[in-house]
Chains A and B, each alone.
Chain A
Amino acid sequence: MSDETRMSRRRFVQSSALAVAFSLGTSAKTTVATTQEELPGSLEDNPELDSWIVIRDERVTVYTGKVELGQGIKTSLVQISADELDVDVDRIDLITAETERTPDEGYTAGSQSMEDSGTAITYAAAEVRQILLEAAADELDAEADQLSVDDGTVTDGNGNETTYWEIATEEALAGEASADVEPKPADEKEIVGEAMSRIDVPGKVLGEPSYVQDLRDTADVRGGVTIRDLPEEEIDARDEHEAQELLHGRVVRPSGYEAELESVDDEAVLEMEGVREVVRDGNFLGVVAETEWQAIQAREELVDAAEWSVEETLPGRENLWEHLREDEVDETIAEDEGNAEDALEDAAETLEAEYRRPYQMHASIGPSCAVAEIVADDQERELNVWTHSQGVYPLREALIELFEDEQMDDVRCTHLEGSGCYGHNGADDVAGDAALLSDAVDGQPVRVQWMREDEHRWEPYGSAMIMEVQGGLDDDGTIVGWDYDVWSYPHSTRPPGQPLLGGRQRENGIELRENDPIPLPTGGGTRNSIPLYEFENTRVTHHFLPEPDVRVSALRALGGYANVFALESFVDELAAAADADPVEFRLDHLEDERGREVIETAADAADWGDRELDDDQGMGIGFAQYKNLSAYCAVVAEVTVDDDSGEVTVDRAVAADDSGEIVNPDGVRQQIWGGIIQSASWTLYEDVDFDEEGPLDDDWSDYPIMTFPDVPEVEVELVDRPGEPYLGTGETSQGPTAAAIANAVSDAVDARVRQLPITAERVEDAME
């Protein structure tokens, strides 16, 4: 790639970044039905072919704006590109989200990566291949459709050949995509659909540097480029701004959300070995030291040295449910089909129930981490940030806002992996912290990792929710009326929609902005609130609570987890009232063929109806199509409920999943297994405790998650749909799992727990 093409891509991505600035208040990009003129996936916003694929020096560089979160996206995108271009997978160099070099694809969220980036790369690669074939046809004096390609070598079948590397020119591949070239039909694909080992796994298992936590020398990776990628002149030039020693920072945050820093007696801290700076800016407090251990010790001292006055702004966990119903609300009808009210009045039998989901954590195993430095000369100041944020472009906007009052000429964000995040955790906030601390030490690189209690107390949680539902059956036991109300705080407060924590806490802090609900069809609190079943009369009302008091944001599956828990629990309650088998009952109300197939497949695989269970065991099913427009998943859970204690163990979970065309079956399986286990943990154990000031859970003893002895056996049947669009898999199984467990508990002990988590105590209460 010449400097020119590099420049053009840079200009291009930067202008598109400006266009999205501050329009990302709610979760970024969604696939809505595409109109004729739109290009597929993220090509629509990033149509230049060479913003996706560059061929140079016998290698193929593929750029994606999505990031690896442990979901295996890198591997899937390599598979797609190699297959479509007819090159070996080893020839592909994949560059993930960097503001300098990759397309802006917003956040890596909502299980959209395959739909957005996978689709864009598929079409871009098909078109690049076609352009190259036409050039080869000229060269070989043949017809393009007579040629075949093997690892970039093009042959005409008569012994004449050329290669991509000889014929690829920058000009030829610099145009805009037309998407007129159809990708390969499913039966011609050789790499897509086959299991491929994840390219990031060996390094992680061998202890090679794999995470932002492992970044030690920023000069090595400035601008996302490794030293070995640079021409010699640039390495020399680089020596001029010789790498500066990496410093370590830690932040000190108060015990509650709304607090004033009254005073800090930092004398003792400043005298500690290695301490470079105590940074106080309004209510933002941090320390920078030479080594990580020094920074941690200094932070501990600083915690004691700081006096805060903390306001009481929260209801406390005891008053949560009343508070949700009383808080400021913005009410909308999400769905109104037929006449639910009349239908319920006329029904032969009606039932009603209220379900609850508390605040729950992302609870990443590794606390959030970032490295920041400010490179300055006489004219310019540039902030470089290495981050495990889910969105480097949105973070860039938030960092620009953070330094609005200071000169900052450019901000570059480069993604490096972190610990799994499962949504919006502390990743972005810690990047802001690192930037502020670096600024306080003249831009020297600073690595900040949150302590365990920072992550537990300050990450934005998944919103608490109430789901209230009324259903009516006719004489035949068919559901004829359904009236559903959901109360929820926002499910995305991602930056730059909301400011970074450090930005809020600084002197003259940035004010919080208004929150808007994420609109349907994807929805936030409304996600999966509309039943996929054919109920003639359905009303769904969303009580959106725009002003959260507890810090909330996107947690895997958003409102879909709690809505599917409620909806699918209630379907079982109605099935019981109708004296029907839960699987049959669902199929009787469902026309969607793909939905029916996953329900039947999961039931079969689990031996539904035939399996021998002990008296204290039960079986239950849950089903959903994620967001009502993405992957289909049904889960059958088998549980044991301890007679004495009421304690629930999930023994086995059997799922069936339809994620459209499968790129990497191992990857899909792993996402479903992982989703089931994480959801089982939420469903049985997790409930954030908080008082009037703030969260109270500091660590894993306060907020336990599922561990090995309690992990169920998991199985998944994959329904492959070659030729159908890719549907993301990361968030399909959580809702169905919660409902399946609740339904299995009810099957085991004939008692219904409607409040998450399903604790021993709640089971006991329900049994009484």
Chain B
Amino acid sequence: MSTNENDPFSILKDGDRGFERLTTQEEGDETEEVEETIEFELNGEDVTFDGDPEKPLLYVLRNDAELNGPKFGCGLAQCGSCDVIVDGETAISCVVTVDDVEGSEVTTTRGLGTRDDPHPVQEAFIDTQAAQCGYCIHGMVMEAVVLLEDNPDPSDDEIRDALADNLCRCGTHPEIMAAVRQAAEEMN
């Protein structure tokens, strides 16, 4: 996807050339670091990663694949801002290694939908304005998608439970709850 023409406010450039990068060798490999070739599916495309198999998935997604969705929040599996979906379950990408996803299907928001064709959960988040700073939102969307796959009609308590490990400091919780409820309705 190119820069979004409709949004004159974004001065950042989108970075999808990352898939090419994923397949290139990481530089400076004269050390005895173990290098491996790891194949997995990322947002519907087959990709190959050559490099340190212990590298957390988060940095592979953000820096090699140049995806912006998953965020670094703590690196300690405490906040959920790096959440992604691996084979239908949410995974904490700051502690999951790239080796762990060999052969798996990895999904970030970018794989869910686009501006022209958003996923119903994304649409509901936009519709209910479920973001202040928005830094936590990628993780919230990931959790919501997985929750609704398992439980198409969750109660408020079930939504709260599903999102219990995802921190939001702005206090956007009410809008996020509303977004999940609305998405559930849309998807049913």
Contacts and interface: CB of A to CB of B under 8 A. Distances in A.
Contacts of A271: 31
B11 A366 contact: no
B167 A700 contact: yes
Contacts, number: 227
Contacts of B12: 208-210, 214-215, 220-221, 416
A70 interface: yes
A431 interface: no
B164 A707 contact: yes
B109 A213 contact: no
A212 B130 CA distance: 21
A356 B81 CA distance: 33
A290 B27 CA distance: 9
A676 B172 CA distance: 10
Interface string A166-181: 0000000000000000
A254 to B, nearest CB: 20
A714 to B, nearest CB: 6
A205 B129 CA distance: 10
A417 interface: yes
Contacts of B15: 209, 214, 216-217
Given A365-B169, A700-B167, A206 B73 contact: no
A203 B10 contact: yes
B63 A366 contact: no
A204 B131 contact: yes
A707 B167 CA distance: 6
Q: How large is the interface on A (under 10, 10 to 19, 20 to 34, 35 or more residues)?
A: 35 or more
Interface stretch (A26-34, A111-119, A223-231): A223-231
Contacts of B163: 708
B160 A711 contact: yes
A705 B167 contact: yes
Contacts of B131: 70, 198, 200-201, 204-205
Interface in B105-160: 108-110, 113-115, 118, 122, 125-126, 129-138, 141, 159-160
B88 interface: no
A414 B11 CA distance: 11
Contact of A221 (B11, B29, B168, B170): B11
A290 B118 contact: no
Contacts of B159: 708
Contacts of A205: 109, 118, 122, 125-126, 130-131, 134, 137, 141
Contact of B133 (A274, A291, A419, A705): A419
Given A205-B125, A207-B69, A220 B13 contact: yes
B68 A701 contact: no
Contacts of A199: 7, 9
Given A700-B74, A700-B79, A202 B59 contact: no
Interface in B1-57: 1, 3-4, 7-15, 26-29, 31, 33, 52, 55-56
Contacts of A452: 73-76, 78
A400 interface: no
B173 A206 contact: no
A364 B169 contact: yes
Contacts of B52: 293
Contacts of A708: 159-161, 163-164, 166, 173, 177
A149 interface: no
Contact of B129 (A74, A226, A670, A709): A670
A71 B129 CA distance: 12
Contacts of A151: none
Nearest to A366: B135
A414 B59 CA distance: 25
A365 B136 contact: yes
Interface string A68-107: 0111101000000000000000000110000000000000
Interface of B: 1, 3-4, 7-15, 26-29, 31, 33, 52, 55-56, 59, 62-63, 66-69, 71-76, 78-79, 81, 108-110, 113-115, 118, 122, 125-126, 129-138, 141, 159-161, 163-175, 177
12 contacts: A71-B132, A201-B130, A208-B7, A210-B12, A213-B72, A216-B13, A220-B12, A220-B13, A273-B33, A274-B27, A420-B133, A674-B170
Interface of A: 69-72, 74, 93-94, 197-211, 213-217, 220-221, 224-228, 271-274, 290-293, 296, 363-367, 414, 416-420, 422, 449, 451-452, 666, 670, 673-678, 699-701, 705, 707-709, 711, 713-714
Which 10 residue pairs across A and B have the least CB separation, nearest first?
A: A677-B171, A207-B69, A70-B133, A674-B171, A204-B134, A420-B133, A70-B132, A209-B12, A207-B109, A419-B135
